[in-house]
Amino acid sequence: MDLPDRVHHHITKSVIGPSSARGLLSKGTIQSVRDFLRDLDTPQFTERGEFSATLDLKTNALARKGQASWGAARKFLNLYLREITYNFFLREKYHLEHIEHLLEVPLDSNVAKALRKEKEGVRLRRWPGVIHLTPDTSAQYQSVAAAVAARKRTCRVHLDLEYWRPEQ
């Protein structure tokens, strides 16, 4: 196993842990989510014009395999994609610099609350929770995140760094 493979293995284990999975998975299913992510064909996400379709396809597949809700599966994929894109070794190995602007912000209650406070998010519907998140509600929150990110001159995936446990 070369260094990028070891890094990949480490990220797969660390990104889906007790904190990120709390209340979203039944007991004993964290490993199946990790296995799914480890075996994911990451280069599929870098094919031009196919990112959204691939993300939807893999979200549905992970929801089925991981015994997770659609919202939990989407959150796990978004966390995973963010972390491998942030990592120097994997970003280079999989050519992920091309998808950074396409990545979604991983949605949870902290991100939803912050987005609803932004001027672009005042009309967002009430946050249903990750477990009850639907593709339609997710799309609405992601649309607001894209508008906020554009105003802040960043990518929406990076908003999680600002919104998750904000400094007082």
pLDDT at 42: 85
CA distances from 71 to 21, 25, 155, 158 (A): 12, 11, 21, 19
pTM equals: 0.91
Two tokens at 130?
Answer: 């990750």
Q: What percent of the chain has pLDDT over 90?
A: 61
Least confident of 30-39, 53-62, 143-152: 30-39
pLDDT at 131: 94
- Given a contact cutoff of 8 angstroms between Cβ atoms, the answer to whether 67 and 25 are in contact is yes
Average pLDDT of the residues in 120-124: 96
pLDDT category of residue 73 using cuts at 50, 70 and 90: very high
